Amino acid sequence: MERNRNFYRLSALIIILILILASLILFGSYRLSVQYFRLFFHVISVFLFVMAVIMLLGFFGVGNIMKRNMESGKKSSFLTRIALRYFIPLLLSLSSLFNRYKDDVRQIFIKANNKFVISSVKKVPKEKILVILPHCLQNSECRQRIRSGLNECIQCSRCNLGGIKEIVKNHGVDAEIATGGTSARKIIQDKKPQFVIAVACERDLTSGLMDVKGIPVYGILNQRPNGPCKDTFVDIIEIEKAIEHFSL
Ligand code: SF4
């Protein structure tokens, strides 16, 4: 709840700042006597007002999608698209700039993206679904070489990979281990799936969701009780539910 509140606070603050700036510049443009300066300020104020409108639409788009029931299957609205394409990426840049609320905004983005994917993606043949997992899910004391896939995992139950191996085998979907964002993108390029279920931290998942174009990606956050990138965990039931929901 607190994270959602921070997200809405940051959004409202940015929209108000843009509106104030736009109003000030518009006011200044009427007070200045030099014609070109007026024109310049007019252009800037129009640009800022347009930005403020996009931000407002995006803000309502996020509110709209967050209120929805995930199973509703309603078509995503124009506002949702504006929110995912323009509003949240802009918020993410600003939160990175000020180094505040980054993970809050990222989590909202991931949730909104997942709801959008649920409402817009029809079922996909199971062999066209790819599950991408971060290498940090593997127990750090495990000596099995699993970087190139789950085949060598002997399912000793010391980490989630054994359970995930079972799930993907039972459902006939492909799974790969990625060592980072670049490796995940390369795997997607090489395998050309129709649908991706990606497990990662807020940062990697967000950048992946923004970078992958044309292929829907459903994101699942990992948990990091041992710090970043070490012996992480994931809710394997959530992976299984996602596979069942999206596979034909
Ligand atoms: S479940 Fe697999 S990957 Fe995890 S520790 Fe055991 S053998 Fe290694």
In terms of domains, do 130 and 220 share one? yes
CA of 23: how far to CAs of 5, 42, 146, 215, in Å?
27, 11, 58, 40
Indicate which CATH number applies to the domain containing 190: 3.40.50
The whole-chain average pLDDT of the chain stands at 86
CA of 141 to the centre of ligand 1 (A): 9
Model pTM? 0.81
Contacts of 42 (CB under 8 A, 6+ apart): 26, 29
CA of 149 to the centre of ligand 1 (A): 12
CA of 198 to the centre of ligand 1 (A): 19
Give the mutation target among 158, 160, 176 for probing the ligand 1 site: most ligand atoms within 8 A of CB.
158
**Model confidence over 73-122: pLDDT tens digits?**
555 677 788 888 888 888 888 888 777 788 888 999 999 999 889 988 88
pLDDT of residue 78: 78
Residues of the chain with pLDDT under 50: none
Give dist(CA 210, CA 232) in Å, integer: 23
In terms of domains, do 87 and 154 share one? no
In terms of domains, do 149 and 204 share one? yes
Backbone φ and ψ for 157, nearest 5 degrees, come out as: 75, 10
In terms of domains, do 190 and 217 share one? yes
Least Cα distance to 193 among 132, 110, 103, 119 occurs for 132
In terms of domains, do 216 and 233 share one? yes
Closest atom of ligand 1 to CA, residue 154: 7
pLDDT of residue 69: 64
Give dist(CA 23, CA 96) in Å, integer: 26
CA of 61: how far to CAs of 55, 57, 58, 93, 113, in Å?
9, 6, 5, 18, 12
In terms of domains, do 173 and 81 share one? no
In terms of domains, do 230 and 151 share one? yes
- Pairing, β 217-221 against β 195-200: parallel
Vertex 123: Cα angle to 118 and 126 (nearest 5): 120
Closest atom of ligand 1 to CA, residue 163: 1
Q: What b/e sequence results for 97-115 when a residue is b if at least 16 CB atoms lie within 10 Å of its CB, and e otherwise?
A: eeeebbebbbbbbbbbbbb
Q: Which of 120, 148, 169 is the last residue of a domain?
A: 120
In terms of domains, do 8 and 105 share one? yes
Q: Which amino acid residue places its CA nearest to atom 4 of ligand 1?
A: 159
Give dist(CA 113, CA 61) in Å, integer: 12
In terms of domains, do 76 and 30 share one? yes
In terms of domains, do 67 and 25 share one? yes
In terms of domains, do 93 and 162 share one? no
Q: Which of 61, 86, 120 is the last residue of a domain?
A: 120
Number of domains, the chain: 2
CA of 203 to the centre of ligand 1 (A): 25
In terms of domains, do 19 and 46 share one? yes
pLDDT of residue 1: 58
Q: Which of 120, 146, 162 is the last residue of a domain?
A: 120
CB 117 within 8 Å of CB 218: yes
